Structure 1
Amino acid sequence: MIRTHRMDVDVDGSPRAYGPDGFKTLDVPQDAHSQRRPNAPIVGYMTDHGKPVVQGPSDPAPGYYVSQTTFEDDSLPERDPRRYVDATKINYVVLGDEARRRGARIGDFVAVYSKLHRACVFGIVADAGNPSGDEGSLHLLQSLGYGFHDGRNESVEESDIFVRFYPRSNPDDVFFRQQSKLDAFARKQGISCDFSDVAASKKTLKR
């Protein structure tokens, strides 16, 4: 189990995550760069020869950029926004270096607990690009009880969130579009939301 130092809101994969000036987006363009560094490569949305790939009239959000996640539905074309995990609909976390060392991989199930709100939810590991792993989808943070609305400068700044990883728990890389189906699948896999040891502890756990 890993206790995060903080948890930033990740909106990648949402059809309305990023777009041109004048569009009401969930995040600002600079946050689409790796580790949110201005000069780092763009990882939050798809580009073609340096230009953003824009959604067409038959896509979920025409005119917005095609936002990507590392976990994908391989049955759909790369430019289809539905290929990626929607941060506004699915609980997901980012794969950090520590979790990777412990055997976690993209697509695995997780259980995530907020000590502040005494809430636990199921999710998956759906994105990468931040070595700390201290990022979770907008839907995840909302499901845990945080009143966030987008990815613009919103984060849990305390060490409040615990993530239990289940390595190799999704060997077939089952893709989810509805949280209810993810929850049902996680329960069948034996993923536990029992964080009673954390809830009872008054001491700070080490990562």
Structure 2
Amino acid sequence: MENLAKILLVNLSLLLSLPSFWVQAEECQFEPWQEYKQQKLLRNPTKSAFLFQTEHKAIDADGAPNAYHPENTGLDNYLNAGYPNSNWWNSVLVADPSDPTKPYVQTNGDFAGYFISKTSLFDKSKADLDVSRYVDATKIPYLVYPGKFYNKKGTGRLGDIGVAVNLKSGEHSAFVVADVGPTNASLGEMSMALAENLGGNNVNPRNGAGAPKGDILYVLFPFSSRSYPWPLELDEIHKIGEELVGSIGGTASIITCASQQE
């Protein structure tokens, strides 16, 4: 973890660059709540938000129309989708309606020949074989919840909005909770788009290369999806994230909470 002195130095430059409506308070409004895999979680008194800080990062390509390919030439290794040697591939890849024992291969469009990769969050108005039904990891900044974390009381649900801040670089981004990953995974798996927004460079889901450096501070607004149901446009995600952070005291307030997680 970054020590408090380094965090404060980064925070000074960060606060000078943030929109004024984010810089509203300098006192942490969060209190210790619980732990997940030795990861400390803090929650505000109204239970409208919680946060955590982690150095762990994993990059997710799920939902991208070119995420996985039968010849393993997609953005990610098809072994990470459980294909072809595992029996859980259909939790990541859309099954072929004519032969459910095999993944469906796109027959037209820009990514004909690729499988269709799913996300746990999806647009219910779209058909299963419509790639736009799923949350594209290359375009939408999203966070992945480990299975056990998703099932914990108070952590919210799919479609909830949050904001992430890179405590090393100061880069920040709103995001949506769009996928549920392996049961016992660590917190910190993010879409390619979120990784790029937080300072990543040519991120590679296959091996994690190009991931943003430094600890990432995440603030989540559980059940915010009730007020802002999916689907949302990219600019809507960012606008909602900014408004929600402002409602709990601004980015300056949540950054001061980082020292409480050491």
TM-score normalized by the length of structure 1 = 0.83
Which 5+ residue runs of structure 2 have no aligned equivalent? 1-50
Name the structure 1 match of 2:177: 125
What SS does the corresponding residue of 2:80 show, helix, strand or coil? Answer: helix
Q: Does 1:162 align with 2:217?
A: yes
Looking at structure 2, the residues matched to 28 and 40 of structure 1 have their Cα atoms a distance apart, in angstroms, of 16
Alignment of 1:126-141 (within 5 A): 126-131=178-183, 132-141=186-195
1:146: Cα distance to partner?
Answer: 1.2
Letter matched to residue 197 of structure 2: S
Taking the aligned partners of 1:194 and 1:82, their CA distance within structure 2 comes to 33
89-98 vs 71-80, which deviates more? 89-98
The verdict on how the C-alpha distance between 1:157 and 1:82 changes in structure 2, with shifts beyond 3 A counting, is closer
Aligned to 1:46: 94
Secondary structure in structure 1 of the residue aligned to 2:236? helix
Residues 100 and 114 from structure 1, CA distance in 2 versus in 1: closer, same or farther, beyond 3 angstroms? farther
Supply the distance in 1 between the matched residues of 2:131 and 2:119 (Cα, whole angstroms): 10
Structure number, greater radius of gyration: 2
CA RMSD of aligned residues (A): 2.7
Looking at structure 2, the residues matched to 165 and 135 of structure 1 have their Cα atoms a distance apart, in angstroms, of 14
Displacement of 1:51 after TM fit?
1.1
Counterpart Cα distance in 2 of 1:198 and 1:168: 19
Q: In 2, are the aligned partners of 1:15 and 1:65 still within 8 Å (CA)?
A: yes
Give secondary structure in 2 for the equivalent of 1:170: helix
Are 1:173 and 2:229 an aligned pair? yes
Instruction: Report the counterpart of residue 20 of structure 2 in structure 1.
Output: none
Verify the 8 A CA contact 1:121 1:144 in the aligned structure 2: yes
Q: Identity of aligned pairs, percent?
A: 26
Which structure: greater helix fraction?
2
Mapped to 2, the partners of 1:79 and 1:86 lie a distance apart of: 14
**1:21-60 alignment to 2 at 5 Å?**
21=71, 23=73, 25-33=74-82, 39=86, 41-42=88-89, 43-48=91-96, 49-57=100-108, 59-60=109-110
Aligned partner of 2:26 in structure 1 is none
The 5 Å alignment of 1:1-207 reads: 1-21=51-71, 23=73, 25-33=74-82, 39=86, 41-42=88-89, 43-48=91-96, 49-57=100-108, 59-96=109-146, 97-98=148-149, 100-101=151-152, 102-131=154-183, 132-154=186-208, 156=211, 160-171=215-226, 173-176=229-232, 178-188=233-243, 190-192=244-246, 194-196=250-252, 199=255, 203=259, 205=261
Identify the range of structure 1 (90-99 vs 107-116) with the bigger mean alpha-carbon deviation. 90-99
Distance 1:169 1:199, change over 3 A: closer
The AA in structure 2 aligned to 1:114 is: N
User: What TM-score do you get using the length of structure 2 for normalisation?
Assistant: 0.67
Q: What letter matches 1:53 in structure 2?
A: Y
Residue aligned with 1:2, SS: strand
Instruction: Give 1:21 shift.
Output: 1.1
Residue 186 of structure 1: how far off its partner (Å): 3.3
Q: Deviations over 1:145-201 (max 9, x none)?
A: 11133311016597711211101111152213x42232124345x244944356557
Aligned length: 199
